Structures are given as C-alpha cells and as structure tokens.
C-alpha cells in the first residue's frame, strides 16, 4: 500500500488480484483432495502458497510499487524465521531420542 497517488493501482486491479487469489485458493483445496504422490502434492501446495504470499505482499501491501528499501525488514524476518525452523529441525534430528516423531 502506498499513499502516493501516482503509484496507486486502480480498484479494478485490486479486484482482479483478489479474484486470482480466490482461484489459487480453490485450486489448492482441490489439489489437497486429489490422489498424487505426496512429494508432488506438497511441492504444488507450497508453490501455490508462495504465489499467494508474493501477490498479497506485492499488490495489496504495495511492496511492488514502493521503495525497494522497504523489502529489507520483511525479507530479513522471513530469512530468520526459516533459520529458526532449520536450527530446531537439525537439533531434533541430531538428538533423535528427543525427537517428537
């Protein structure tokens, strides 16, 4: 989102973007009911989720149109969040006897 009118997308574009997001969500749900190899299913669902994430951040949060500097805080947060997951996962694998599964 941005307050600068010269970069402001139109309401029509927002509606189009929302319609695409709804379509992707419907496809995701359909995929989850289909019979396919788990690897293919997981990769397809993750890709759909990433596309939705990027579209909302880019268009609705206006990061696509705003100053690139604004991307840094979010990217840093996402990178650190992934790092947390990786550290916890590695820790659990290395200490298998404490592993929850």
Q: Whose Cβ is closer to other proteins: residue 5's or residue 94's?
A: 5
Which pairs count as long-range contacts for 22-26, CB under 8 Å and 24+ apart, including other chains? 24/48, 24/51, 24/52, 25/52
Q: Is 84 in the site for other proteins (CB under 8 A)?
A: yes
Among 25, 27, 40, 90, binds other proteins (CB under 8 A): 25
- Decide if residue 94 touches other proteins (CB under 8 A): no
Under rule CB under 8 A, residue 20 binds other proteins: no
CB of 2 closer than 8 Å to CB of 62: yes
Tell me which of 27, 34, 40, 49 binds other proteins, using CB under 8 A: 49
- Pick the binder of other proteins from 40, 64, 65, 70 (CB under 8 A): 70
Contact 32, 78 (CB under 8 A): no
Please report whether residue 64 would count as binding other proteins according to CB under 8 A: no
- Pick from 6, 3, 22, 24: nearest CA to 14: 22
């Amino acid at each position: 989102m941005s307050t600068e009118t010269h970069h402001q997308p139109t309401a029509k574009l927002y509606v189009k973007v929302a319609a695409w997001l709804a379509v992707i969500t419907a496809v995701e749900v359909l995929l989850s009911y289909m019979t396919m190899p788990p690897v293919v299913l997981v990769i397809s669902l993750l890709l759909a989720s990433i596309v939705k994430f990027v579209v909302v951040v880019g268009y609705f949060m206006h990061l696509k149109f705003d100053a690139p500097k604004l991307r840094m805080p979010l990217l840093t947060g996402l990178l650190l969040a992934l790092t947390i997951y990786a550290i916890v996962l590695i820790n659990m694998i290395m200490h298998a006897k404490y592993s929850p599964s």
